[in-house]
Chains A and B, each alone.
Chain A
Amino acid sequence: MKIRIILSFVFPCFILLIFFFGLNNNNKYESINLVGKKISNFELKRLNKDTNYNIKNLSSSNFTLINFWSSWCAPCREEHKYLMLLKKNANIKILGINFKDNKNNAFKFLENLGNPYDDILRDIDGKGSVIFGIYGIPESILVDSDLMIIKKYIGPISKKEYKEILQHIKK
């Protein structure tokens, strides 16, 4: 009898606990995991020259926004005006990583919309972007002079993100 009472209490409690932990478990990928981590070593070719660019080239600025873009990506066009504004109004280095794109189309894109980038690198097959934890474009990573990730923006930069980046720089 005692065992039955214990079982009828323990079993529902166990099921409730499983549901509680299961439903509370966050199954979404969160970029917050990368915040506070240092950028890993990487090496990519520049878009306009046949020279390499690595982590040492990156560390020469207070703040750097690493922006992953492509000419075939419609949201990249949307965010481009904010990158131009950042270039104009903020003391920030913008590093563009051209993702799985055709070189000529990339140049045409910049010709039409302007070039906010201090340097543009080329990631032909997307493998280089995995080092930055990228899984789609557009994505942007704000890093400080120690190459620590301050914030990762998944999706296009809008007015809200633009203001947030300005605030980070002013801090």
Chain B
Amino acid sequence: MKYLLLLFISLFVFKLNANELEQKKIDIIKNLRCLVCQGQSIADSNSDFAQTIKLVVSDKVLEGKSEKEIYDFLISKYGEWIVFKPELSKTNFALWIIPYLVLFFGGIIIFIIVKKRDIS
């Protein structure tokens, strides 16, 4: 009975871990662009290239590599174009910061306009 319980627990933990790894793989390939397709992610594509990248990601996940390490590896081989969500860098700094600046200054402008209307 004790051994059966132990077997059941280890099977449960194994299954949980396998699901977690599968989910991690899916999350990664959804953020990867298929370079030979029109606007498709690696997850959505059945192209030869996508199949290969899926295998590579799967291997890397099983090796215990982090999401960032996998993206870095693929970026080093195919450039930043392969990721849908590029990381913050010198070249895309403005694109990351502009929405926040617009929100901040827009808020100030709206505040000034509303305050002026109140006074008048």
Contacts and interface: CB of A to CB of B under 8 A. Distances in A.
Contacts, number: 45
A127 B56 contact: yes
B52 interface: yes
Interface residues of B, number: 22
A130 B48 contact: no
The listed residue with most A CB atoms (<10 A of its CB), out of B51, B77, B113, is B77
B96 interface: no
A37 B53 CA distance: 21
Given A7-B109, A21-B94, A29 B79 contact: yes
A160 interface: no
Contacts of B14: none
Overall SS of chain B's interface: helix
B13 interface: no
Interface in B43-75: 48-49, 51-53, 55-56, 59, 74
A76 to B, nearest CB: 14
A3 B52 contact: no
A30 interface: yes
A131 B52 CA distance: 11
Given A129-B52, A130-B56, A136-B48, A29 B77 contact: no
A127 B59 CA distance: 10
B9 interface: no
A125 B52 CA distance: 7
A126 B55 contact: yes
Contacts of A28: 81
A121 B113 CA distance: 70
B36 interface: yes
B24 to A, nearest CB: 18
A9 interface: no
Interface of A: 3, 7, 14, 21, 27-30, 33-34, 100, 125-127, 129-133, 135-136
